[in-house]
């Protein structure tokens, strides 16, 4: 949705293509590796935002790729397996996979798992300090500042501000904001986003401070300087 890059390590051409098409259609950027070693090298040279990793691979098997990737990074890893067996699932998770999917699976199921992984792992695996203009957001402590002024945020206000600060100068549509922050559909009538943007503006903009969260009429909102 926001163009995250996904590396697919899968040797079976038909399945790799099926996954690639589904992901591209959804707006992700996709690279495919057909071999474990090549996939591992690709992940190291140009770290993606998420890895979809088949279990049975030539070169280096998926389990080994998973262990080596995990030793070096927190990239979310979704394993694919034909082995529908509890013991193998546990082995995969022990090796550091975040989730797995048993073949055959539908593209909808794959996309749902990916969204869940991004929601679950991205904020946790990347505690850092986000800055935009004089706004600062510490994703480890959840503290926000405008200049030196500390801002108290509720959990939802924090999530909304983090979404803006991770995507500065990009227009975020109402649908994207719903999907990322509220996680379910309020329907077209809800004004919850407007309400929360108002809260955020009240807290982040006092009288002497410039507007940072701007309305893009009929579309959504954007974090940008005047």
Residues contacting residue 120 through CB under 8 Å, at least 6 positions apart: 76, 98
Are the C-beta atoms of residues 94 and 77 closer than 8 Å to each other? Answer: no
Judged by CB under 5 A, which stretch of 51-59, 131-139, 150-158, 209-217 contacts Ca ion?
51-59
Q: What is the CA radius of gyration of the chain?
A: 20
| 162 contributes a contact to Ca ion by CB under 5 A | no
| 102 contributes a contact to Ca ion by CB under 5 A | no
Retrieve residue 43's tokens: 């992940």
Judged by CB under 5 A, which stretch of 7-15, 17-25, 187-195, 213-221 contacts Ca ion?
7-15
User: Closest residue to Ca ion, Cβ-based?
Assistant: 56
The DSSP element (H or E) to which 101 belongs, if any, is: strand 99-102
Q: Quick one: 226 exposed, middle or buried, by C-beta within 10 A (0-12, 13-18, 19+)?
A: exposed
* Minimum CB distance to Ca ion smaller for 36 or for 96: 36
Distance, in Å, from the CA atom of 68 to the CA atom of 53, rounded to the nearest integer, reads: 12
Task: Please state the closest distance from residue 82 (CB atom) to Ca ion, in A.
Answer: 8
Q: Quick one: 208 exposed, middle or buried, by C-beta within 10 A (0-12, 13-18, 19+)?
A: exposed
Retrieve residue 165's tokens: 């600060």
| 39 contributes a contact to Ca ion by CB under 5 A | no
Please select the residue that binds Ca ion; options are 1, 2, 38, 56, rule is CB under 5 A.
56
For every residue of 97-119, DSSP letters joined together read -SEEEESS--HHHHHHHHHHHHH
Q: How many residues bind Ca ion (CB under 5 A)?
A: 3
Please select the residue that binds Ca ion; options are 4, 20, 49, 54, rule is CB under 5 A.
54
Judged by CB under 5 A, which stretch of 40-48, 55-63, 113-121, 175-183 contacts Ca ion?
55-63
Judged by CB under 5 A, which stretch of 35-43, 50-58, 91-99, 110-118 contacts Ca ion?
50-58
Distance, in Å, from the CA atom of 37 to the CA atom of 120, rounded to the nearest integer, reads: 27
Please select the residue that binds Ca ion; options are 4, 11, 157, 159, rule is CB under 5 A.
11
| 98 contributes a contact to Ca ion by CB under 5 A | no
Task: Please state the closest distance from residue 19 (CB atom) to Ca ion, in A.
Answer: 12
| 19 contributes a contact to Ca ion by CB under 5 A | no
Rule CB under 5 A: which residues touch Ca ion? 11, 54, 56
């Amino acid at each position: 949705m926001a163009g995250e890059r996904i590396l697919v390590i899968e040797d079976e051409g038909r399945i790799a293509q099926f996954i690639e098409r589904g992901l591209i259609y959804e707006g992700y950027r996709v690279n495919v590796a057909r071999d474990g070693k090549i996939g591992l090298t690709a992940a190291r040279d140009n770290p993606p935002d998420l890895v979809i990793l088949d279990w049975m691979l030539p070169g280096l098997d998926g389990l080994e790729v998973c262990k080596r990737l995990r030793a070096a990074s927190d990239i979310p890893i979704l394993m694919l397996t034909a082995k529908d067996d509890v013991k193998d699932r546990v082995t995969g998770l022990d090796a550091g996979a975040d989730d797995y999917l048993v073949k055959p699976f539908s593209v909808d199921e794959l996309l749902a798992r990916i969204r869940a992984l991004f929601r679950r792992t991205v904020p946790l695996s990347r505690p850092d300090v986000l800055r935009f203009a004089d706004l600062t957001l510490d994703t480890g402590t959840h503290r926000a500042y405008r200049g030196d002024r500390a801002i108290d945020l509720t959990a939802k206000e924090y999530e909304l501000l983090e979404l803006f600060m991770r995507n500065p100068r990009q227009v975020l549509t109402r649908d994207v904001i719903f999907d990322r922050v509220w996680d379910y559909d309020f329907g077209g009538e809800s004004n919850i986003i407007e309400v929360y943007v108002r809260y955020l503006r009240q807290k982040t903009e006092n009288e002497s401070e410039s507007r940072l969260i701007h309305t893009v009429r009929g579309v959504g909102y954007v974090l940008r300087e005047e």
